Amino acid sequence: MPAARDLNAFLDLPEVAVPHGESGPLKGLSLAVKDIFDVAGHVTGCGNPLRAAEAGPARRTASAVKMILDAGARFVGKTQTDELAFSLMGQNVHFPHPVNPRAPDRVTGGSSSGSAAAVAGGLADIAVGSDTGGSIRAPASFCGLFALRTTHGRIPLDGAMPLAPSLDTFGWFARDAQTYEAVAKVVLGGDRHRSPLTRPMRIEALDLLVAGPAEAAEHERLSHLVAGVTGAPQPVGPVRQGLDELYWCFRTIQAQEAWAMHGKWISSANRGLAPAVEERFRFGATVSRAEVLAEGVRRKAFRTALADLLGEDGFLILPTVPGPAPKSAGTPEDFASFRERALRLLCWSGLSGFPQVTLPLGSVAGAPFGISLLGPRDSDRALISLGATILDAAGQD
């Protein structure tokens, strides 16, 4: 097992005792927590040293994290995050970059970078993260992990730093479906969505967002593996809104909300933000009220159209991200290009608020490459169960 310092997954913080349940379904499992969630006695730094310096120790633990601790999981540390959770690569300029244990020359993905590295490297059994634009799904695909973007609003986010509240969701990583399901029972309870997911679908426009021929071939292979369990997916046409329209709808809403949450603090002094992170925040300051209202209408129409497409029993099969993790030594232009392509896939779950599970089934050029299932609102547990069945059939549970 690698040492914590070898992966740069954990923050170097003073040790503070964190109580956990003496019994429960998660007893014996270790828990790492992304540093946007409060853990009583620890400072929540949100990936920025000045933010950490201004914060005192949290008085209470975020309620979703506390549920996991109360179920018996043992806290082992707080993990790195991109600055203010506003990036997809996992390379925070203020800290040594986390190492991707499954592909050491490639990024872990962010913003839940340290959490993904900790679980992939065997330093924690469970690690808490968040997903606003893809910060659970992308690192999971990059690091070969099982993970879910939960239905928006289903798990409470008190005690967590908000980024874009209408998009923010609680999430976690695990190496296997059994551990993932154990956590799901604790934090999700039972599904409110009662219908079995029996109607797989594919949208060609989403499949074509993979990065190249090798990725396309692997996605096709993975789709056949999934179809071996679910049945052949029905090809369906895209919803009325185009991919670029949905991308800009997501970007506009996220940026405006992020600036509303953090703009005052960012503007009050030199916060030392990485240029790309600051640029994303300041884009939000340029968004007008009219644009927000217009994109809100577009978002509502998309959510309705996707709900109608899925119905009660349908789910989409799609690439999680365009390809394996970008190389760590890539240029800012490389990262920006990948991010923009990835967001065209990732924004479907974000804008709709519907859950999406990513499965660690594939690889390209020796690096992990996930495939996703996106289901109706509140079908979280059903997606996890279906994902576990698929992994078991593929011999990868």
Task: Supply the CATH number for residue 44's domain.
Answer: 3.90.1300.10
What are the C-alpha distances in Å from 355 to residues 132, 199, 323, 385, 386?
A: 12, 16, 21, 13, 13
Task: Indicate whether 244 belongs to any domain.
Answer: no
Omega into 111 within 30° of 0, i.e. cis?
yes
Task: Indicate whether 50 belongs to any domain.
Answer: yes
323 backbone dihedrals φ, ψ, rounded to 5°: -175, -170
Which residues, 6+ apart, have CB-to-CB distance to 113 below 8 Å?
9, 79, 80, 81, 82, 90, 91, 92, 97, 98, 107, 139
Task: Indicate whether 6 belongs to any domain.
Answer: yes
Q: How many independent structural domains does the chain possess?
A: 1
From first to last of its 397 residues, the chain has per-residue pLDDT tens of: 465 567 999 999 999 999 999 999 999 999 999 999 999 999 999 999 999 999 999 999 999 999 999 999 999 999 999 999 999 999 999 999 999 999 999 999 999 999 999 999 999 999 999 999 999 999 999 999 999 999 999 999 999 999 999 999 999 999 999 999 999 999 999 888 889 999 999 999 999 999 999 999 999 999 999 999 999 999 998 888 999 999 999 999 999 999 999 999 999 999 999 999 999 999 999 999 999 999 999 999 999 999 999 999 999 999 999 999 999 999 999 999 999 999 999 999 999 999 999 999 999 999 999 999 999 999 999 999 999 999 999 987 5
Determine the residue type at 359.
Answer: L
Task: Indicate whether 249 belongs to any domain.
Answer: no
- Round to whole Å and give the CA distance between 328 and 107: 5
Range of the domain at 231: 1-239+301-397
Task: Indicate whether 288 belongs to any domain.
Answer: no
Per-residue DSSP letter, 37: B
Catalytic residue list: 34, 111, 135
- Segments of 280-335 assigned E as strands: 314-319
Determine the residue type at 61.
Answer: T
Task: Indicate whether 265 belongs to any domain.
Answer: no
* Contact in structure between 381 and 182 (CB atoms under 8 Å): no
Task: Indicate whether 150 belongs to any domain.
Answer: yes
Which residues, 6+ apart, have CB-to-CB distance to 331 below 8 Å?
none
Task: Indicate whether 266 belongs to any domain.
Answer: no
